[in-house]
Chain A
């Protein structure tokens, strides 16, 4: 058998064509659009612009929690129920990039293999690529592409312990925070203040010793928190057997109903978009600042002054920012 090249080599087809194919339901176009967006290639901007008017259909569900908490298994159990009622689901599984090598080992698919022949499920692994907070800088844009493609749900799964977990909450409509008995999570939760980001608390592996105690502790802490309008429920699950998963789905539906009836979903969307703009603006500014610093004679001189302790970093920074003006 010989392999016959189809699209390659040759000039890349126009972005408009790629966007059209994504909207027409072409999975190859979808996966390649995601790559372009993730790699921040020049054509990504035009692609996102073409796709954005077609977004807004998907419900964004964030799932976060400690490593080994059962996020992927719980995701699989949720997807099984969602598929049973005919909903299509895309999953973005984000794992950390190794700070040493810049590489990443992405293994979440292993626990979701059963959907390989289901066209209603699409799983994409992403490496965080140096961004703290459990998300890659482009996760929001990748979710946008999947939304435009037409998935009913986009599930964003991130490893997180501590404040890093906040990032996914900024992106999702509903955020599940997974806790497991026996990890000392009660202390962790107080320390890192992660409870505030959870719309629903999930105690997974609830058949393990300590689940009831963990539930009591979490309930106690939630009662101290001020969450106007919505009190995060605590749902106990055993993802591996499916126990409690229908209840979890019901809790998600409740939260969705709350967001839609109270108008909070619109507020969240607005806050999310504002934060995304700020992020991107900061990146653009950083690039311009680096442009003013690298190989710049004035900055090299300022750096010498800094080393000689004749100046302080804040004043040099102020000079640098002043040079940004149009």
Chain B
């Protein structure tokens, strides 16, 4: 029985590329759920097209990319390009997993606003997403 529903942040958690380790992605998905978010989990081996299309259909506020394969410099720009193609430029894109220190700044520069390495406290991720998602009423 609710008339005005409080804002629910919707997040897509996806694993682009070929590595088969989704433990981290599952942990973050659960943590975001426990923080009150609606988490759409799409699992392993997602192409940039699949991620962007899921982000569109689910109208998520944020996309979390988990990557351990080392292919982030190749895959992240393609994810961003596919989102752009669909008009989803207002989506907050974050990344976690193994991203070497030298790559962090270039990754941020390309438009991945949050970059979280191993051992990042979950609270930090939650707080970052809450603070950086698009305002409500996006069109």
CA distance A137 to B3 in the complex (A): 10
Interface residue tally on A, bucketed by range: 35 or more
In the complex, chain B residues 10-37 whose Cβ is within 8 Å of any chain A Cβ:
29-30, 32-37
| Contact B80 A6, beta carbon cutoff 8 Å | no
Number of interface residues of B (CB under 8 A): 46
B67 within 8 A of A: no
Report which of A3, A7, A117, A127 forms a contact with B84, defined as CB distance below 8 A: A3
Q: Is the CB of A283 within 8 A of B36?
A: no
For A6, what are the chain B residues with a Cβ–Cβ distance below 8 Å?
A: 87, 89
Q: How far is the CA of A130 from the CA of B86 in the complex (A)?
A: 31
B87 touching A39, Cβ below 8 Å: no
Given known A39-B7, A106-B39, A109-B42, contact A1–B2 (CB-CB < 8 A): no
Complex contacts, A53 vs chain B, CB 8 Å:
none
Residue B74 lies at the interface, judged by CB distance under 8 Å to chain A: no
Residues of chain B with a CB closer than 8 A to A193's CB: none
**Which residue on B lies nearest to A2, using beta carbons?**
B111
A:98-143 near B, CB below 8 Å:
98, 100-107, 109-110, 113, 116-117, 122-125, 127, 129-130, 137
Residues of chain B from 53 to 69 with CB closer than 8 A to chain A in the complex? 53-54, 56-59
User: B115 within 8 Å of A by Cβ?
Assistant: no
Question: Can you list 25 pairs linking A and B with CB atoms under 8 Å apart?
Answer: A2-B110, A3-B84, A4-B84, A7-B138, A9-B135, A27-B56, A28-B56, A31-B58, A31-B59, A32-B59, A32-B138, A39-B136, A98-B34, A101-B33, A102-B8, A104-B33, A105-B29, A106-B38, A106-B39, A116-B50, A123-B57, A125-B40, A129-B5, A130-B2, A286-B1
